[in-house]
Amino acid sequence: MFTPAPAPALIAAAAALRERVPELAEAIVARIEQSLPLYRDTRTVEGGSLAESVRQNIEYLLASTLGDAPEDFAAQHNTGRRRAQQGVPLAEMLRSYRIGFALFWEAVAEEVIGQGRWSERDLTDTATALWWKADEFSAAATESYRETTAELVEQRERQRSALVEALITSGGLDRGAVWEIAEKLGLPRVGSFAAVAAEVAELGTEPLPGIVPRLRELGVWSAWRLLPRLQVGIVSLPSAELEPLVTALEVTGDISPPARIGVSPIYPALEGTPHAVYLAKIALSSIGGGPARVSRFAATPLATLVAAAPDAAAQIARTVLGPLLALPREEQDLLLDTLGTWLDTAGSARETAARMFCHANTVRHRLRRIAEHTGRSVDDPAATAELSAALAAVRLLPEARWPDTPGPS
């Protein structure tokens, strides 16, 4: 940055003004506090902080003008760092600098004119040199302010991430600890909550960028944790309705590559977060191939049982479905989709055919094939219950299937 040499008149004024530092600092502090109410609020700018900063800046300005201080802008960097830590807006800090330099210029101009030996050109050169200084001071303070703000944001995000981690992994937290975490995260202690698990396509990349402000626009507050393979969120809903959340997730997750997202059922207290996150992961894992979508965990009795004992459920699915899971994947899906639709339609072959765009006899043929592969007929209520449980396990737990079997070559 180009910096003009100090004007002789400014040097002469600086030497004289060294004796008036306390007076100048007091006047500048008073003007800043009068013009900017924020600086009078000791909850933001603690008592004495502004006076100390103004004094340091004046002393540095005079010393650097007289060649008695290195051009390191330490005082300005310190001011920028402290104001960022105090939460003073950048615009307010820069305005305080302008006010301070305006009053300092008045003192310099008064001194230059009072000495009676300087021309108008000298006064103009003094003003130019001084306002170059003002620009340098503001730039140094701004640089430090922005660096500190970035550090504080990263620190807050690390803290929030650690608090979310505690909620999603530590089911043994007592109520007091959970409530303390809720307060720090800005979440209510009780209400309507949902957990979200979104699959990470690329390590370190958020699958739901911008989800926090998008939800906030809907009056929904949330806290998130980015893991190597998942982005996990705790969402506080204004009502016991998942639709606004699901819509926001669908829009936010519609990126390249699109995200696969699982959502838990609504739960009433933050103590239930670990289990809710588990259910959200189950919902995520139940999404098969095809277009990405948001999957909600349906809290049906069968789904709840599968989620409660996934290893046992996977073993049951393999035992019940048996050779059917050894078929090529496309054939498996066709038979299992037919079974699922038949169960959803209360055992109506006609309605199943209408939903699957085929003939009722085709549905009956597929059901007979299921019976051939599993040894369980849908005509037997007990066998139907076993098939229904196995189907729920396969839908929710991809590991319930055997590895894909290649088709004929």
Q: What pLDDT, on a 0 to 100 scale, did the predictor assign at position 409?
A: 31
Angle at 400 between CA 207 and CA 259, to 5 degrees: 10
Would you state the structure tokens that stand for residue 405, as one six-digit string?
């079997």
Q: Please name each of the domains of the chain with its CATH number.
A: 8-153 (1.10.490.10), 191-298 (3.30.70.270), 306-400 (1.10.10.2840)
pLDDT, tens only, 228-278: 889 999 999 998 888 889 888 888 866 656 778 989 999 998 888 998 998
Q: Of all residues in the chain, what percent are helix, strand and coil, respectively (each to 5)?
A: 65, 10, 25
Strands 190-199 and 230-237: antiparallel
Beta strands of 281-335 (E only): which ranges? 294-296
Q: Which of 108, 24, 14 is CA-nearest to residue 61?
A: 14
User: How many Cα atoms occupy the beta-carbon half-sphere of 167 within 13 Å?
Assistant: 35
- C-alpha pair distances (Å), 311 with each of 227, 284, 287, 401: 24, 17, 19, 12
Q: In this predicted structure, what is the pLDDT of residue 405?
A: 45
**Between vectors from CA 147 to CA 144 and to CA 153, what angle results, nearest 5°?**
135
**pLDDT at position 140, please?**
92
Of 388, 399, 339, the C-alpha closest to 365 is 339
What pLDDT score does 407 carry?
38
> Which among 273, 293, 297, 294 has a CA at the least distance from the CA of 283?
297
Residue-level pLDDT at 338:
94
Q: How far apart are CA 326 and CA 335, in angstroms?
A: 12
Cβ–Cβ < 8 Å for 64, 21: no
The residues of the chain scoring below 70 in pLDDT are 1-6, 171-172, 253-257, 288-292, 299, 403-409
Asked if 314 and 383 touch (Cβ cutoff 8 Å), the reply is no
Q: CB of 197 within 8 A of CB of 283? A: yes
41 three-state secondary structure:
coil
pTM: 0.61
The answer to whether 130 and 100 are in contact (CB under 8 A) is no
| Confidence at residue 209, expressed as pLDDT on a 0 to 100 scale | 87
